[in-house]
Amino acid sequence: MSENQAMADAVRRLVDETVLPNVERWDREDVLPREILDQLGALGVPGALVPARYGGRELPVRAMVDVWRTLAQGWISLTGAVNTTALATRLLVRYGTEAQRERWLPGIATGDVWSSFSITEPQAGSDLRRLEMSVARADGGLVLTGRKRWIAGGFSFPLACVLATLEGQSRPSCVLLPAEGRGSATWTTGPLDKLGYRGVESATWAFDGHFAPGAEILGGEAGEGQGARQMLDVLAVGRVNVACRALGVIDRAIECALVEATERPIGPGLLGDHSHTQLRIGELRSRQLVIEAAIRAAADAVDAGAADAAERATAAKTMASESAVWAVEQAARLAASRSYTGDAELTRLRRDAPQTQIGEGANDALLIAAGKAVIKRRSP
């Protein structure tokens, strides 16, 4: 059995035996148990992309599609929780100095180090032209000033990759920020209450001249002013991850629809005997297959470093997320009022699916950028 198949099988058992029986309670209580993250870390899921020379499994993104999808079938919050560490891994492998790789990648490989990934600011969203976070050099570390929000793992992860502008630079850099000092008077934290995508820590950070010992610029001197390019470059991996979240939602929406079709009595037969149910489930299945193919093609392109990798990842993410919202609505029409009670799976999916339209870039912004690029290529 291959290493990636063994991981996929172990994740399937975790989802079936532990996640699905408990997810409605976890969602209601807004908690993702630490022991679940520890189990994922022990399985190597957050550090699966780490090269073998640093103790990792060095799996391709394609191998993670089934893992991320399976996690999302249990709860999209699990797929989201491992995503930012995958992004940090990609940053360190592609742009880190050898010392930075040796410092962080072995811990990521063992599951001891998880990482946040922070671009968004309150006044700017992810508009890079309006970012205000700044960083200054200091002996033994860096001094940070500014605010960030929507930081996954923002209360507990040991590392964060943070976009901020270094003094003397006009363009931002990527800061490797250890967690020491988090929660202090100069680095305050706060929670964000969310409609869905619960359990995942989503934090706000405020830095007031905070000295961060051990913080450094990704890539050292060569990385100064390169943070936006670096962090945007690795988002193709993140968008494949978000697309897998959406596909997991589609999978569960189909399962809910099939339960209604095969178990709900209507007149002398079952709901599935009626053509409108058959049509709706046929549409769901067709959309599921197309989205799966798009995600696998995007993952292959990312692994190959193809010129269209970012475009394919964006296409997979936007279409998968729009389809997830649509799929939940189709299944809910079959379930009718049973999709609207507080403990129904479809109720949770209604709240979770829209997160995939926002994660790793709002769909409208991504599609505008994609459209502009296509027009530019066509223009004389």
10-37: per-residue pLDDT in tens? 999 999 999 999 999 999 999 999 999 9
At residue 75, what is the residue type? W
Check whether 1 has a pLDDT greater than 70.
no
pLDDT given for residue 41 in this prediction: 94
Average pLDDT, stretch 244-258?
98
pTM (2 d.p.)? 0.96
The pLDDT confidence band at residue 380, using thresholds 50, 70 and 90, is confident
Between the alpha carbon of residue 293 and those of residues 190, 280, 288, 312, the distances in Å are 39, 20, 9, 11
pLDDT given for residue 237 in this prediction: 98
Percent of the chain at pLDDT exceeding 70 = 99
Other CB atoms within a 10 A radius of the CB of residue 187 amount to 20
Instruction: Identify the weakest region by mean pLDDT among 21-30, 122-131, 322-331, 340-349.
Output: 122-131
Supply φ then ψ for residue 341, to 5 degrees: -85, 155
Report DSSP letters for 307-375, one per residue: TTHHHHHHHHHHHHHHHHHHHHHHHHHHHGGGGSSTT-HHHHHHHHTTHHHHTTS-HHHHHHHHHHHHH
Check whether 2 has a pLDDT greater than 80.
no
Average pLDDT, stretch 243-264?
97
Check whether 221 has a pLDDT greater than 70.
yes
Percent of the chain at pLDDT exceeding 90 = 93
Instruction: Identify the weakest region by mean pLDDT among 79-88, 91-100, 128-137.
Output: 128-137
Check whether 125 has a pLDDT greater than 80.
no
pLDDT given for residue 124 in this prediction: 85
